[in-house]
């Protein structure tokens, strides 16, 4: 009886223990699965990291190239703090990916490196004497530093009146002061406003951290300066606006019909995607290509030459190469912008940057103070003459201002805008803002503009960091200034 009870007790114990054994086995199995999942996750992270490190997607490389370049130019040309430039100029208004970029500045070596989390998809930009900064997409920093430009001249005389020097006699008009103090008119992110009337600066304002001595990036306003540099060679008879057969690879196809004039008027017919914010032709050219002009030249025709308007930074790069090659000597070409234009106009701060191979980035990269941007605007107002001297051929600025036939009245032949910023869909200059019909513009990314109003003898420079999504229009500012400036000062 005892044995039966004992056997029953032992059987019951085994029955009770069985679920516990199974439960322990299940837990060990679950832990093993979790352990393997963790291993797989770690391996996946290592694999993704290795992929991003050794073969980063072009979007990351564009982001790091942009970050390195903008920080480099602002640190070495404008003397700004790199962390501020990264946070304010690069990350705040840009693609979300840019918020993950970190930069490292080596002032002794003159380089800035940038990458995702500081290490992935790394890009390097380098500063060069007289030429500002350039990206180095192929990584050969030593070779890139072998190109140098002319040393910048000393500052303009502080005691001479602008434009000969930097001294001002500003207008005492309270109406003008009220306009320049109106933040709705000068716009969010304003960094500089300079107003020139009858050849003299009558008023100016600067954003916090910026002043008369701060070089500011003009972005696509550079295209107009590049066109003027080309014009100096037209004057010398070294290049003509009707010239064709501009590149040897073009001789075998329809691109041979493209003229300098077609390129200037953004009517070349060449394929080029100018969209920003992703990997497109323009971002690839600016941040992934050591030879930007060759990249643009290689584009096929996408339309009839001269028949369709297509805004393209690539065509501006081709123009840069054309005028540099027209000089015949690479070193002479490197010094030409300063010799032929900047020095005669007193644009002492102006630095036109090149790509890695030494072609000027005539599409995008001119840094100059607001006073020097105003000098260039006044130079156009004076029809290409300065201090009584003819810098551009007689009638060249008039030709530059002629409507580009394919542009529907919005763009001019010489890399100038007839419509104001954001008004490209409106034919003509007024655009509903009440501006004189002869108004024309230099326009650049993120709110850069120079308005030129010949009938009013007026030039208005407005520089800033104002993304287009904010819908700021400098037309309101220029329109508000006209009437007060007609009054005796």
User: Is 426 exposed, middle or buried, given 0-12, 13-18 or 19+ CB atoms closer than 10 A?
Assistant: middle
CA 135/CA 146 separation, integer angstroms: 14
Look at residue 186 and give its three-state secondary structure: helix
Considering only CA atoms, which of 249, 463, 299, 245 is closest in space to residue 373? 463
Record the tokens describing residue 146, joined without a space.
């072998």
CA 30/CA 121 separation, integer angstroms: 38
Q: What is the mean pLDDT of residues 412-424?
A: 94
Close Cβ partners of 315 (under 8 Å, ≥ 6 residues apart):
263, 266, 268, 270, 272, 296
415 touches 428 (CB < 8 A): no
Give the pLDDT confidence of 10-28 residue by residue, as tens digits: 444 444 455 665 566 677 7
User: Is 55 exposed, middle or buried, given 0-12, 13-18 or 19+ CB atoms closer than 10 A?
Assistant: exposed
Round the average pLDDT of the chain to a whole number and report it. Answer: 91
CA 152/CA 144 separation, integer angstroms: 20
| Rounded-to-10 torsion of CA 315, 341, 235, 199 | 110
Direct distance between the N- and C-terminal alpha carbons of the chain, in angstroms, rounded to an integer: 126
Give the pLDDT confidence of 145-172 residue by residue, as tens digits: 999 999 989 888 888 999 999 999 999 9
The overall pTM is greater than 0.75: yes
**Phi, psi for 360 (deg, rounded to 5):** -60, 135
**CA dist list (Å): 349 to 128, 151, 210, 463:** 15, 11, 15, 16
Close Cβ partners of 81 (under 8 Å, ≥ 6 residues apart):
75
DSSP 157: P
Give the pLDDT confidence of 311-335 residue by residue, as tens digits: 999 999 999 999 999 999 999 999 9
Residue-level pLDDT at 278: 86
- Give the rounded percent of residues in the chain with a pLDDT score beyond 90: 83
Q: What is the mean pLDDT of residues 424-446?
A: 81
Mind giving me the DSSP string for 312-376? -HHHHHHHHHHHHHHHS-HHHHHHHHIIIIIHHHT-TT-EE-B-TTS-B-TTT-EEE-HHHHHHH
Give the pLDDT confidence of 45-95 residue by residue, as tens digits: 666 555 566 678 999 999 999 999 999 999 999 999 999 999 999 998 888
420 touches 431 (CB < 8 A): yes
CA quadruple 480, 170, 397, 443: dihedral positive or negative? Answer: negative
Residue 394 has pLDDT above 60, yes or no: yes
Give the pLDDT confidence of 360-389 residue by residue, as tens digits: 999 999 999 999 999 999 999 999 999 999
How many CB atoms sit inside 10 A of residue 244's CB? 15
């Amino acid at each position: 009886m005892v044995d039966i009870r004992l056997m029953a007790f032992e059987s019951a114990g085994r029955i009770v223990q069985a679920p516990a054994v199974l439960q322990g086995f299940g837990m060990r199995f679950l832990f093993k699965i979790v352990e393997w999942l963790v291993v797989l996750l770690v391996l996946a992270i290592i694999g993704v990291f290795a992929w991003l490190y050794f073969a980063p997607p072009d979007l990351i490389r564009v982001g790091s190239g942009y970050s390195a370049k903008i920080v480099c130019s602002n640190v070495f040309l404008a003397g700004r703090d790199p962390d501020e430039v990264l946070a304010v100029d690069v990350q705040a208004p840009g693609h979300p990916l840019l918020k993950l970029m970190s930069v490292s500045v080596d002032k002794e070596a003159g380089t800035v490196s940038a990458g995702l989390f500081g290490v992935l998809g790394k890009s390097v930009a380098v500063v060069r004497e007289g030429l500002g900064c350039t990206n180095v997409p192929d990584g050969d920093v030593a070779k890139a530093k072998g190109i140098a430009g002319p040393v910048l001249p000393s500052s303009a005389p502080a005691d001479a009146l602008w434009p000969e020097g930097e001294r001002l006699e500003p207008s005492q008009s309270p109406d003008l002061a009220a306009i320049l103090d109106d933040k709705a008119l000068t716009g969010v992110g304003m960094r500089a406003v300079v107003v020139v009337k009858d050849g003299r600066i009558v008023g100016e304002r600067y954003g916090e951290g910026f002043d008369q001595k701060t070089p500011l990036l003009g972005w696509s306003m550079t295209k107009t300066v590049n066109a003027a540099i080309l014009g100096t060679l037209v004057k010398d008879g070294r290049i003509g606006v009707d010239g064709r057969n501009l590149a040897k690879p073009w001789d075998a196809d329809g691109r041979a019909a493209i003229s300098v004039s077609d390129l200037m008027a953004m009517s070349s017919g060449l394929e080029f995607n100018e969209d920003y914010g992703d990997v497109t032709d323009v971002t690839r050219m600016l941040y992934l290509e050591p030879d930007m002009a060759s990249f643009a030249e290689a584009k096929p025709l996408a339309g009839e030459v001269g028949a369709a308007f297509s805004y393209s930074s690539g065509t501006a790069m081709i123009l840069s190469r054309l005028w540099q090659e027209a000089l015949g000597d690479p070193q002479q070409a490197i010094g030409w912008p300063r010799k032929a234009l900047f020095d005669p106009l007193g644009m002492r701060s102006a630095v036109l940057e090149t790509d890695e191979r030494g072609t000027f980035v005539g599409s995008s990269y001119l840094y100059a103070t607001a006073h020097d941007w105003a000098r260039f605007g006044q130079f156009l107002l004076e029809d290409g003459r300065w201090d009584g001297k003819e810098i551009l051929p007689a009638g060249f600025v008039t030709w530059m201002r002629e409507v580009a036939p394919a542009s529907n009245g919005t763009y001019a032949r010489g890399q100038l805008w007839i419509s104001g910023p954001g008004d490209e869909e409106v034919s003509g200059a007024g655009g509903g803002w009440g501006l004189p019909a002869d108004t024309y513009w230099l326009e650049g990314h993120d709110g850069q503009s120079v308005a030129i109003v010949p009938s009013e003898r007026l030039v208005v420079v407005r520089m800033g960091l104002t993304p287009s999504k904010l819908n700021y229009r400098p037309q309101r500012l220029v329109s508000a200034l006209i009437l007060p400036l007609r009054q005796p000062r």
